[in-house]
């Protein structure tokens, strides 16, 4: 290609600088190499610049700009593929008595994090339900909650249920819930841990639950025990593997 070079020349005092010597090196700005192999061979040889920290290059083989940090080459741009951390998959709003988020889980991520903010319901303080896919059996969970206003704590759970009770919803002060789901897309058991808060009732919830059958899920549903109309903002993140 037009800009490809195989060497980054160096110059000595008194040397006659030919125009041809500038075509690739100086006129291109950042030296362009076909591969990492020709890049490595382009420095340090006779008449070549010594490789040093801060050096830039462009690789045609992968279309990336790299920099040398003094010990190794690292990709500057485009950004390297995300291999760790959280990636926002989708956002949505709770609506009606039941809201399903379809195509939320895939092979791209193993674990997921779901945040639900400003969660309210039309009346009362119904339990918030969490289900996976179309499954209405094989759920088990344990839940503990602390009721600061009434100065007591309580626990409940089930070893065989049609849903996981996650939280308690409020009709005035919004509630919140954070849910971590482990490997819902893999064809095995799916587990989750969640924390929730009901401001109206001064209650804090901690729930651990699982779906006990080896099933691959792509969706989840938030609903409630009374069929009350819900509102709230939902964000779904995938954990990089």
Partner 1 sequence: MTTPQKTIIDCVTGEIVTRDFNETELTQFEAETAQIKKDATAKAKAEKALADKQQTILDRLGLTADEFKTLIG
Q: Enumerate binding residues for partner 1 (CB under 8 A).
A: 89-90, 92-104, 136, 162-163, 225-227, 229, 236
How far apart are CB 174 and partner 1 at their closest, in Å? 18
Nearest residue (CB) to partner 1, 59 versus 230? 230
Nearest residue (CB) to partner 1, 62 versus 136? 136
How far apart are CB 162 and partner 1 at their closest, in Å? 7
Q: How far apart are the C-alpha atoms of 184 and 218, rounded to whole Å?
A: 7
Q: How far apart are the C-alpha atoms of 9 and 52, rounded to whole Å?
A: 14
Nearest residue (CB) to partner 1, 100 versus 188? 100
Q: How far apart are the C-alpha atoms of 230 and 112, rounded to whole Å?
A: 22
How far apart are CB 103 and partner 1 at their closest, in Å? 4
Nearest residue (CB) to partner 1, 148 versus 229? 229
Burial 105-135 (b: 16+ CB within 10 A, else e): beeebbbbbbebeebbbeeebbbbbbbbbeb
How far apart are CB 95 and partner 1 at their closest, in Å? 4
Burial 144-173 (b: 16+ CB within 10 A, else e): ebeeeeeeeeeeeeeeebebbbbbbbbeee
Q: Are 7 and 50 in contact (CB under 8 A)?
A: no
How far apart are CB 124 and partner 1 at their closest, in Å? 12
Closest by CA position to 166, among listed 143, 137, 183, 189: 143
Nearest residue (CB) to partner 1, 58 versus 105? 105
182 half-sphere exposure, CB direction, 13 A CA radius: 13
Q: How far apart are the C-alpha atoms of 200 and 175, rounded to whole Å?
A: 8
The Cβ of residue 57 has, within 10 Å, a number of other Cβ atoms equal to 24
How far apart are CB 43 and partner 1 at their closest, in Å? 46
How far apart are CB 189 and partner 1 at their closest, in Å? 22
Nearest residue (CB) to partner 1, 93 versus 214? 93
Nearest residue (CB) to partner 1, 45 versus 227? 227
């Amino acid at each position: 290609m037009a800009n490809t070079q195989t060497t980054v020349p160096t110059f000595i005092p008194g040397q006659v600088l030919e125009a041809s010597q500038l075509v690739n090196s100086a006129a291109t700005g950042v030296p362009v190499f076909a591969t990492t192999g020709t890049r490595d061979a382009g420095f340090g040889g006779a008449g070549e610049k010594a490789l040093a920290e801060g050096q830039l290059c462009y690789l045609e083989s992968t279309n990336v700009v790299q920099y040398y940090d003094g010990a190794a080459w690292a990709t500057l741009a485009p950004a390297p593929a995300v291999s760790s951390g959280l990636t926002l998959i989708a956002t949505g709003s709770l609506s009606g008595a039941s809201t399903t988020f379809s195509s939320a889980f895939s092979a791209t991520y193993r674990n997921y994090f779901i945040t639900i903010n400003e969660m309210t319901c039309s009346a009362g303080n119904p339990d918030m339900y969490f289900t996976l896919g179309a499954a209405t059996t094989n759920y088990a969970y344990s839940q503990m909650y602390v009721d600061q206003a009434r100065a007591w704590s309580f626990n409940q759970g089930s070893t065989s249920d049609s849903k996981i009770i996650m939280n308690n919803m409020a009709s005035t002060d919004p509630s919140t819930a954070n849910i971590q789901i482990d490997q819902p897309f893999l064809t095995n058991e799916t587990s989750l841990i969640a924390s929730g808060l009901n401001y109206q009732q001064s209650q804090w919830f901690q729930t651990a639950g699982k779906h006990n059958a080896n099933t691959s899920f792509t969706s989840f549903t938030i609903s409630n025990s009374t069929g009350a109309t819900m509102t709230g903002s939902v964000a779904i993140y995938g954990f990089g593997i």
